[in-house]
Structure 1
Amino acid sequence: LGAALAHRPDALIVANPTALHLGVAIPAALAGCHILMEKPVSDSLEGMDELKNALRSGGGKLLVGFQFRFHPGLRKAAALLRQGAIGRPVFARAHWGEYLPAWHPWEDYRQSYTSRPELGGGVVRTLSHPFDYLRWLLGEAEVTFAQVGALGDLDIPVEDSAEINLRFAGGAIGSLHLDYLQQPPVHRLEISGTSGTLRWDNADGTLHCFRAEVGQWESHPTSEGFERNTLFLDELRHFMDVIAGRAEPVCSLEDGIRVQQLALDVLAGPYRIKAG
């Protein structure tokens, strides 16, 4: 790392295992790098003040890699919520289940950071994207109840399932399901308001909006050619704008810290469940 930083790079991408992020990010920030940091920001909140101070000293900006901030369906949902299309949001339900061994079938999932506690693994941290986009769409959140546990047959020493209840600053309540087990994978979101509903499914990316005043659904599909990799390309384009001073990070270190706190609140809860 020291040899790389000696070349005085403008920017750096931190994409090593979760628990090792800060060992790279802090020296890079002190060296003045702009940083794109893979989510979550770390496996704990230790070292966050040191990272903030390093960024302040070095003058760089940090973007956390919650790429669903760039999904056109979720961006449309944010716009419709701002417009009051479904009235006041009252309830949200996000569900993400995806069979871990199928993520990278060419490698042993049990050796991946996703499965190893010492590297920050477990489904709550690894699939933390919904914490971020729910905060983005509905405002600051707090955990009111959570159940986590290892319910499947994956033979890993971390939680593979979580059921979480949330309350949002605007008064809405919500629930979030995460798991490493579901086949086929499912990732979807529903937000109900006082005068309508939003439904989004990652399978095709389309956002559906029901407006009570007209009594019918409207659909907002993604553009032709959209694919999963489009999210990462758009994220990188935004990061280039951050480096050039043309934009502020859409997902800041403070956003990453808030997501990490929610994840830690879930994991610290007293309700752990076991298979069988």
Structure 2
Amino acid sequence: MKFGIIGLGNIGRVHAKNIQDGLVEGAELAAVANQPIDTTDDFKKQGIACFGDASELIESGLCEAVIIALPTHLHAPIGIQALEAGLHLVMEKPLACHKAEGERILAAVQREDQIASLMMNQRTHPCYVRIKQWIDEGELGELQRISWTMTNWFRPEIYYASSPWRATWKGEGGGVLMNQCPHNIDVLQWLVGMPVKVRAQCSFGKYHDIEVEDEVNAYFEFANGATGQFSASTGECPGSNRLEIVGDRGTIITDGNEVKLIRTSESVSTFSKNTDEMFGTPETTEEIFQPLEEVNQHAAILNNVVKAASGEAKLIAPAVEGLNSLELAGAMIYSTWINDEVCLPLDSAAYEQVINQKIAESQPRKIIKTAAKVDMSKSYR
């Protein structure tokens, strides 16, 4: 599959390296596009077609698929153009700035065999893959509670000051929920499904000189009566990553490095109704899963896209499922604005109207002219 990459920032170059290093089987980097075009000189020297405009790459006929790694506000116009041109699409997270925008992207899919995938790479994280297997196999029984404290996304001020679009309503449609936590929100709903109600408190510019949220505390309610809690921050250090999923037959706990499954010997609700022991509890057993090796998650998604395009695999991260994380993020932000709970599904048109007011008032960030040290390996959680 001949890939084109539109956007050669930090993550765009990660995708390029994975393809060029042969980590994506059956893939070739055919073209790149970036502005200004002289930032593509290193690719030009390798004989790769280089463009200063995304439209030129899309219309060139050189590619079968494009990876869009641009600022979020450009995802919709470029993604729609690529899909309408008949190209397979891999969109960097998040799918768009809000749900209605994401819906417009998906409406541009031209045919059933056209791939529209999202770089929700943490769906290939061995710990989350194992959790998904356990849940699907019924190890936990009925969901009772979920809690995710995800506060180790610390970002210093220079991170935001490196680009005018970062941490603005116009550029990203939000802050920690739209830039760092789409992965966690996606994994959450992938594992346990979508809640039906959300109540949240977002703090805007609490730790940084930004207009969007950098701390979030949210409460979820699910259709079966289960509850959930989600906390996120880019202002804490060292922060923590702790996910707990509690069901009637057991509990799963992970910090992203290993997973512990604590099984109960019988249904907790059944035991509670039938035991004659005043302080009795069901017996438990523990199983610990530790990944044997790290997975190149970005390459894994691209490998899956290549196989899905040839009918050899099912998409791991269909772009349509990216609407769920946009919906949850939007619901948390909207709940804060109206100081009330939000019922899901989120009215995408109503939310678009409200966020467009924020976008109209949004101001581009002032860029600090300094050489920021970039180590992309430190950006993954």
Give the shorter-chain TM-score range.
0.7 to 0.9
- The answer to whether 1:21 aligns with 2:71 is no
Task: Give the Cα–Cα distance (whole angstroms) in 2 for the partners of residues 14 and 260 of structure 1.
Answer: 18
Q: Partner of 1:190 in structure 2?
A: 244
- The answer to whether 1:3 aligns with 2:71 is no
| SS of equivalent residue, structure 1 residue 192 | strand
Equivalent residue letter for 1:181:
G
- The answer to whether 1:243 aligns with 2:309 is yes
1:267 pairs with one of 330, 333, 354: 333
CA contact (8 A) 1:14 1:38 kept: yes
Change (3 A) 1:140 1:222: same
| SS of equivalent residue, structure 1 residue 100 | coil
Residue 241 of structure 1, CA deviation: 1.3
Q: Partner of 2:190 in structure 1?
A: 136
CA contact (8 A) 2:198 2:331 kept: no
* Structure 2, gaps ≥5 residues long: 1-53, 266-282, 341-381
Q: Partner of 2:13 in structure 1?
A: none
Superposed counterparts of 1:37-56, under 5 Å: 37-56=91-110
Residue 67 of structure 1, CA deviation: 1.2
Following TM superposition, the consecutive aligned residue runs of length 4 or more in structure 1 with deviations greater than 6 angstroms are none
Residue 80 of structure 1, CA deviation: 0.9
Task: Give the Cα–Cα distance (whole angstroms) in 2 for the partners of residues 114 and 176 of structure 1.
Answer: 23
1:257 pairs with one of 319, 323, 329: 323
| SS of equivalent residue, structure 1 residue 115 | coil
Residue 149 of structure 1, CA deviation: 0.8
Task: Give the Cα–Cα distance (whole angstroms) in 2 for the partners of residues 50 and 140 of structure 1.
Answer: 21
Residues 52-85 of structure 1 show CA distances to partners (whole Å, capped at 9, x for unaligned) of: 3321259521111111111111111111112222
Task: Give the Cα–Cα distance (whole angstroms) in 2 for the partners of residues 87 and 45 of structure 1.
Answer: 31
Superposed counterparts of 1:18-167, under 5 Å: 18-56=72-110, 60-97=114-151, 98-101=153-156, 108-112=159-163, 113-120=165-172, 121-126=174-179, 127-150=181-204, 152-167=206-221
Residue 143 of structure 1, CA deviation: 3.7
Percent identity over paired residues: 24
Task: Give the Cα–Cα distance (whole angstroms) in 2 for the partners of residues 256 and 191 of structure 1.
Answer: 22
Equivalent residue letter for 1:110:
A
Residues 127-156 of structure 1 show CA distances to partners (whole Å, capped at 9, x for unaligned) of: 122221121111222342100013633111
CA contact (8 A) 1:142 1:262 kept: no
Q: Partner of 1:180 in structure 2?
A: 234
1:211 pairs with one of 245, 249, 263: 263
CA contact (8 A) 1:70 1:234 kept: yes
Q: Partner of 2:290 in structure 1?
A: 221
CA contact (8 A) 1:92 1:174 kept: yes
Q: Partner of 2:274 in structure 1?
A: none
Change (3 A) 1:170 1:138: farther
CA contact (8 A) 1:139 1:170 kept: no
Change (3 A) 1:124 1:252: same
Change (3 A) 1:49 1:260: closer
CA contact (8 A) 2:205 2:211 kept: no
Change (3 A) 1:12 1:172: same
* Structure 1, gaps ≥5 residues long: none
Task: Give the Cα–Cα distance (whole angstroms) in 2 for the partners of residues 10 and 2 of structure 1.
Answer: 14
Change (3 A) 1:223 1:114: farther
Corresponding residue pairs, total: 263
Bigger radius of gyration: 2
Residue 109 of structure 1, CA deviation: 2.1
| SS of equivalent residue, structure 1 residue 136 | helix
The one of the two structures with greater contact order (alpha-carbon pairs below 8 A, sep at least 6) is 1
Task: Give the Cα–Cα distance (whole angstroms) in 2 for the partners of residues 46 and 144 of structure 1.
Answer: 19
TM-score, with normalisation over the residues of structure 1?
0.87
Q: Which has the higher strand share?
A: 1
Task: Give the Cα–Cα distance (whole angstroms) in 1 for the partners of residues 224 and 118 of structure 2.
Answer: 24
Residues 145-188 of structure 1 show CA distances to partners (whole Å, capped at 9, x for unaligned) of: 10001363311111110111122344422111111112114222
| SS of equivalent residue, structure 2 residue 302 | helix
Residue 253 of structure 1, CA deviation: 2.5
Q: Partner of 2:299 in structure 1?
A: 233
CA contact (8 A) 1:95 1:189 kept: yes
